[in-house]
Chain A
């Protein structure tokens, strides 16, 4: 998936597993940027009695590079604290939760937001309430309004939400991981079957999101609100992460543990699918432990992606030009590692220099597309979408499949003719507008546990 359970170590630590990162100019508040960082993959809505929550022992982070050096100039840190009202019951709630202050909600979470800018720490807010998970009509009636109470306006024009959301990322997991037999094209696959529609494996699942809306002038290197898409100051690099303390001591016979030492990163995410399908198994855990500015050592995986070599094998005769393409994939390096320089796509750039780093690069001077945004983003003619940042509904699976299949190589070598299939390949899914909100926090209302049938095909 985008980055759900994408590496051996973090797949065993879901509370710290950074699954998706989004960064876009807020469509209903275009002087701001919204960054969303998701954790806890594949939350089954009925997963009680200990419903999903952030880790009190995890530090969640949003990083922003605004001077193109690959390192963060601004970091937002989020730390959580769980409070149990009544430890003498097994119940998550002892009655209906009709407000986030309800005495019936037994296990609540609160958090702080700290902004670190060039080494200076500023706590923006403390004691912010999370919403409960969506349990069902008996426990969390009017869930959407309940969750709305957990959107907080905090210092310096920021707005924040942290809690359960409906998974916004859509992908046919069953097909992708079954040797990439993409259902709409599986008649052409080596294990040929009749072509059919894609299946969204994430349809009913929830995720835990940290959404932060930030005034643009809080993000630029010079404090300006960017208006010129061709200016370097208009572009920021964004990635998110999770860290744990270096040492943990488990006290035998008590169920308690102690932590000590500095925070060390255990998960991160910039571009979707980077660690998932670009980085090989032997390097995935190390990649998660490194900062984005150390990514030069992974550049060769981008220049020679394994999947580009596999597609012609899995789909015999479908990708003949891709099979012959052995040159380093400078197109993918631009999309994923440096941003796209001026002069490639008319009127657009999100270049952050030649230091390779896996970041979402957002040109904040590109206004949001209000009418008919393309989920294919830039390759769909919509410069407000991926890989210019990433919106919640962008079809990043199709975009990256097509890019790896050679559709974007002519950007750097006009003599190359992509295979016809490169412009068509997809897992057969698209965004469902009912899964998103037109306003902050943009990801939709999570499914209720009571209302969800396990593993219903979608």
Chain B
């Protein structure tokens, strides 16, 4: 996944998620680090766990989770 794609995904998550405030805070802190630190998204049980640095934020968005799963070819 390219950095562009990764950033786009995370922005989309922030817009869609019930936990957008928390995620937004995470992203604000991450803006400068996006090229040096990876952002890992783990989709499970309709939830998306987003990990960067030593932090993890879980977003509950079944629609977005399903989109990601489909994008993965499933």
Measured CB to CB, the residues of A under 8 A from B are 245-247, 249, 258, 260-263
Contact = CB atoms under 8 A, between A and B. Distances in A.
A54 to B, nearest CB: 19
Task: Tell me if B's interface is mostly helix, strand, loop or mixed.
Answer: strand
A261 B51 CA distance: 4
14 contacts: A245-B54, A246-B56, A247-B40, A247-B51, A258-B38, A260-B51, A260-B52, A261-B40, A261-B49, A261-B52, A261-B55, A261-B56, A262-B54, A262-B56
A361 B13 CA distance: 47
Contacts of B53: 260
A262 B40 contact: no
Interface centre among B42, B53, B54 (most CB of A within 10 A): B54
Contacts of A263: 54
Contact of A249 (B38, B49, B54, B56): B38
A261 B54 contact: yes
A263 B52 CA distance: 12
Nearest to A261: B51
A249 B39 CA distance: 10
Contacts of B39: 260
Nearest to B37: A260
Contacts, number: 30
Interface of B: 37-40, 42, 49, 51-56
Task: Tell me if A's interface is mostly helix, strand, loop or mixed.
Answer: strand
Contacts of B40: 247, 249, 258, 260-261
A246 B37 CA distance: 14
A112 to B, nearest CB: 15
Given A247-B40, A260-B53, 18 more contacts: A245-B54, A246-B51, A246-B56, A247-B42, A247-B51, A249-B38, A258-B37, A258-B40, A260-B39, A260-B52, A261-B40, A261-B49, A261-B51, A261-B54, A261-B55, A261-B56, A262-B54, A263-B54
Contacts of B55: 261-262
A260 B55 CA distance: 8
A246 B42 CA distance: 10
Nearest to B36: A258
Contacts of B37: 258, 260
A258 B33 CA distance: 14
Interface centre among A246, A261, A263 (most CB of B within 10 A): A261
Nearest to A245: B54
Nearest to A259: B38
Contacts of A249: 38, 40
A258 B1 CA distance: 13
A263 B42 CA distance: 16
Interface centre among B39, B52, B56 (most CB of A within 10 A): B56
A245 B55 CA distance: 10
A174 B5 CA distance: 55
A39 B20 CA distance: 41
Contacts of B51: 246-247, 260-262
Contacts of B38: 249, 258, 260
Contacts of A246: 51, 56
A275 to B, nearest CB: 27
Nearest to A248: B40
A165 B54 CA distance: 31
B33 to A, nearest CB: 11
A258 B51 CA distance: 12
Contacts of A262: 51, 54-56
B69 to A, nearest CB: 18
A261 B42 CA distance: 11
Nearest to A263: B54
A212 B56 CA distance: 31
A30 B8 CA distance: 59
A60 to B, nearest CB: 16
Contacts of B56: 246, 261-262
